[in-house]
A and B are shown apart, each in its own frame.
Chain A
């Protein structure tokens, strides 16, 4: 019987578990295979102001231990999302984080204003496409301004620039936590056509191949900004991978591509995380946060 306490506090949001799904990788489709209500939260697919048909296929390519993807944020638009998807989560008792993306500050503002009046939203995750601290700050400022004070705002940062600078800009402008990080810009060429495999050309790399990269982002931000809550995402496929994110400084984790391979992975990893905590006599997930930054007793390292 596992005794560790998984409940955690993410920037004022009480979560019964630190295991969440990542944007676009969890939703109603998982309900047959996993108890969504037992997750800390489900992050919705990324919603834009207007409906988007997405990128031309092929949209996904396998890479060694990875997954290159470019869906082009296919979604029914905010109105469609609020009418059809959000009520379902409420009926199921699932805590929802709404992922949003926009092409302009004005659109971000409109999304925030319309979400402010919607019920059943635990948090908003802002998808930031560009690894630029100045832009990150401007976007977060607009979103934060129009959302109710009680709505937690997460900033999902793009890798590539100085992730610490971006995290600082995000929280200085109203983000309650940062999510580290999105997929890494990548490409695969077709050996027959000698052209990019994906219809969109380039894409973002996810999966086990990027776990170590994402872990480093979490580590660096926690080292520089220890008071900033961090959500770790990238290539988690086991309980230890999740624990590693906590040890590096994450308060919670998100599961992405592992759910495509194993639709019941959220339940499995939650159980495995409990076992990992018990094995190390850690009473709670919160006790593990940032533990890897502490120097061992007697060490001069």
Chain B
């Protein structure tokens, strides 16, 4: 059964696991999810059920989308990369091919694409980098020069460094322990890259401290930043109010907004990074 969402473009489909492959410390999941690829835009995500029909788990797991294929032997497929960190994602990592999974997606607001062919830097940390690759393709279609900056704590935590070399004009890698690439974090390496490339837009996906650093570096260099914020989701559709974060609106006031419906991509200069995980005293009710 497919239930269509005319407003958001999301659909709810009973899909199935096509494959789960190890990718370093991460899992690369391919789901058959007809209807989702056609509606996909980079930065959006899917929310999947875990645990099967008799599951104790009551919430969905939100997974950023790495890549989609609209056609193929199995129909439309969606690829996601994730780290198994709890019972739900561990179940997903161990799911056999053919396991039915209810999929809702694509959800959320995607990365905003530039109208002009401007230089872009894409910054990713760990497996959060996964959504940046389909973004890079869309940017190249618009003749935007694309540079990628990937980082992790160690070499084992890097995702997509080889793929990035094929997909972009230049790749910079940074690891905290210096096991590969520059020693340090992506935020340390970003200012030099922005100076060298003269980038107009920075896209980023990773933990909040990385995104905060990226947003500040972009602002310093006069570039726009678009950040995909990774916060826990409960449903992905806007009902549960789990994924709220404080964001400054057009009027200058702060509201607790939902990352699933108003995000997950936000302008980096709009998020109150220091207040993530709390509710600022001046925040008003969300929309």
Contact = CB atoms under 8 A, between A and B. Distances in A.
A62 B57 contact: yes
Nearest to A256: B239
A63 to B, nearest CB: 8
B285 A52 contact: yes
Interface stretch (A115-123, A130-138, A260-268): A260-268
In which size bucket is the chain A interface? 35 or more
Contacts of A64: 56
A54 B7 contact: no
Chain B at the A interface: SS class: loop
Contact of B285 (A27, A67, A75): A75
A62 B285 contact: no
B198 interface: no
A26 B235 CA distance: 12
A260 B7 contact: no
A189 to B, nearest CB: 16
Nearest to A260: B235
Nearest to B277: A57
B240 A260 contact: yes
Interface string B244-287: 10000000000110000100000000000000011110011111
Contact of B237 (A30, A58, A67): A30
B286 A60 contact: no
A65 B238 CA distance: 21
Contact of A207 (B58, B88, B102, B237): B58
A218 B8 CA distance: 38
Contact of A74 (B6, B12, B285): B285
B168 to A, nearest CB: 35
A65 B104 contact: no
Contacts of B234: 60, 67, 260
What's the dominant secondary structure at chain A's contact region? loop
25 contacts: A24-B239, A26-B239, A29-B237, A30-B237, A33-B12, A34-B3, A51-B284, A53-B283, A53-B286, A54-B279, A55-B279, A57-B232, A57-B244, A59-B242, A59-B244, A67-B59, A84-B287, A260-B240, A261-B58, A261-B60, A262-B12, A263-B3, A263-B235, A263-B237, A264-B3
Given A53-B285, A54-B279, A59-B242, 18 more contacts: A26-B239, A29-B261, A33-B3, A34-B3, A52-B285, A53-B286, A54-B241, A60-B232, A71-B241, A74-B244, A84-B287, A260-B234, A260-B239, A261-B59, A261-B235, A262-B49, A262-B102, A263-B3
Interface of A: 24-27, 29-34, 51-60, 62, 64-67, 69, 71-72, 74-77, 80, 84, 199, 207-208, 257, 259-264, 267
Interface of B: 1, 3-8, 10, 12, 49, 56-60, 88, 102, 104, 231-232, 234-235, 237-242, 244, 255-256, 261, 277-280, 283-287
